[in-house]
């Protein structure tokens, strides 16, 4: 099965809506000082400067070895060690994804007993198998670690009209019989982010 999710932040629409509302009649405001644009109530401290190419790189994110995509408008951070999550989507200086401050930089081994089972809600964007009842998490059931384990990660396309990274989960051959793959692609000169999630049957039985 394959799920594709397209994220498009319409900057122009947001700015246009900021001037709409009832009440007083709009009037022109003149100022000799440059005004900072506000998105979601947060000011951009640096002007947005779209790059002609998108870039992907490895870097340290709160102690995690992470993968970063950027294009001068948007910065995206994916963390394979946190269950293959996308933990940051920033437009300028404005963060759109919640991160759990208590878990930044932490990793957890797969549980070995029922007492050790605990859901580590890192935040961000994640992928789970469905129907959820067949998986039995979160937290990960014993014998599987699709949500909380360390995934592998690599840069597929370092720079160009788009940059792309890939994260792959451990194989779960016993519980749900799946291995998850996430491809994250950021396009140059745009807020367009493409996330493609797919599952591979790694068991010896049919999987729905």
The pLDDT assigned to 110 comes to 85
> How high is the pLDDT of residue 50?
78
Q: What value does the mean pLDDT take over residues 159-166?
A: 98
- Reported as a single tens digit per residue, the pLDDT across 92-122 is 999 999 999 999 999 998 888 999 999 999 9
Asked whether 100 and 88 are in contact (CB, 8 A), the reply is: no
Out of 33-47, 48-62, 141-155, least confident range: 33-47
pLDDT attached to residue 67: 98
Q: Is the pLDDT score of 10 beyond 80?
A: no
User: Which one is predicted more confidently, 16 or 156?
Assistant: 156
Q: Are 146 and 163 in contact (CB under 8 A)?
A: no
Partners of residue 179 on adjacent β-strands:
200
Residues 71, 51 contacting (CB under 8 angstroms):
yes
Digit-coded pLDDT (tens) for 55-74: 999 999 999 999 999 999 99
**Token pair of 152, please?**
């592998």
Chain centroid to CA 150: how far?
15
Name the pTM for this structure.
0.76
Residue 28 confidence class, pLDDT cut points 50, 70, 90? very low
Preceding omega of 148 cis (within 30 degrees of 0): no
Nearest-angstrom CA–CA distance, 206 and 189: 43
**Percentage, residues of the chain above pLDDT 90:** 64
Of the ranges 26-30, 107-111, 130-134, which one carries the lowest mean pLDDT score? Answer: 26-30
Q: Which one is predicted more confidently, 9 or 180?
A: 180
Which pLDDT does position 72 carry in this prediction?
A: 95
Evaluate if residue 25 carries a pLDDT over 80: no
Q: Please, are residues 98 and 136 in contact by the beta-carbon 8 Å criterion?
A: no
């Amino acid at each position: 099965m394959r799920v594709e999710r397209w994220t498009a932040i319409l900057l122009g629409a947001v700015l246009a809506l900021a001037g709409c509302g009832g009440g007083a009649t709009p009037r022109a405001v003149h100022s000799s000082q440059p005004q900072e644009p506000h998105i979601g109530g947060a000011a951009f401290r640096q002007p947005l400067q779209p790059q002609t190419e998108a870039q992907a790189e490895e870097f340290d994110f709160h102690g995690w070895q992470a993968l970063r995509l950027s294009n001068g408008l948007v910065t995206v951070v994916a963390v394979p060690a946190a269950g293959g999550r996308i933990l940051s989507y920033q437009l300028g200086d404005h963060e759109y994804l919640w991160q759990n401050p208590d878990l930044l930089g932490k990793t957890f081994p797969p549980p070995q007993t029922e007492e050790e089972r605990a859901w580590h809600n890192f935040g961000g964007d994640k992928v789970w198998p469905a129907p959820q009842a067949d998986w039995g998490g979160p937290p990960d059931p014993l014998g599987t670690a699709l949500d909380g384990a360390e995934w592998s990660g690599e840069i597929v396309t370092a720079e160009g009209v788009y940059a792309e990274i890939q994260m792959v989960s451990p194989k779960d051959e016993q519980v749900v019989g799946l291995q998850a793959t996430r491809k994250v692609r950021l396009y140059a000169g745009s807020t367009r982010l493409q996330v493609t999630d797919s599952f591979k049957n790694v068991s010896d039985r049919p999987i729905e």
